[in-house]
């Protein structure tokens, strides 16, 4: 396998990781309201960790791939990761809840479509 092929496979794995982490966020928060989420330490910690991992995986996607998919909010995803890591004491609860309730459910079909497109291009 050439170095380019290895790099190509690696970023596909990061997309799958983003999808897996996103699905975990939804599974962990399923049936919770905002108050219950923010008072449940284990659920909160696991969810925030997966939001962080979504951003970390996104930062490993090549720039040309990100530019080819401008409907995926790459900058916001990576920026959220940075805020979670560097400004964890200042996280805005309403923003985190919006990410869980709106942004991640919208992201999942986009990631699935990207994976499908990549598989079709390879096959």
Residues 35-80 pLDDT 10s? 999 998 999 999 999 999 999 999 999 999 999 999 999 999 999 9
| CA distance to 54, 60, 65, 104, 108, per residue, from 50 (Å) | 6, 16, 22, 11, 14
pLDDT at 61: 97
pLDDT category at 83 given cuts 50, 70, 90 is very high
CA 45 to chain centre: 16
Classify 91 as helix, strand or coil. coil
* pTM listed for this prediction: 0.90
pLDDT at 88: 85
């Amino acid at each position: 396998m050439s170095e380019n092929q290895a790099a190509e496979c690696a970023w596909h794995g990061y997309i799958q990781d983003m999808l897996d982490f996103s699905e975990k966020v939804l599974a962990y928060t399923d049936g919770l309201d905002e108050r219950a989420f923010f008072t449940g330490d284990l659920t909160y910690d696991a969810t925030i960790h997966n939001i962080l991992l979504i951003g970390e995986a996104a930062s490993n996607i090549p720039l040309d791939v990100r530019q080819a998919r401008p409907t995926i909010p790459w900058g916001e995803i990576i920026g959220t990761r940075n805020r979670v890591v560097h400004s964890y004491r200042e996280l805005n609860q309403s923003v985190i809840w919006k990410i869980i309730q709106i942004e991640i459910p919208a992201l999942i079909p986009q990631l699935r479509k990207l994976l499908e497109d990549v598989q079709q291009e390879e096959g």
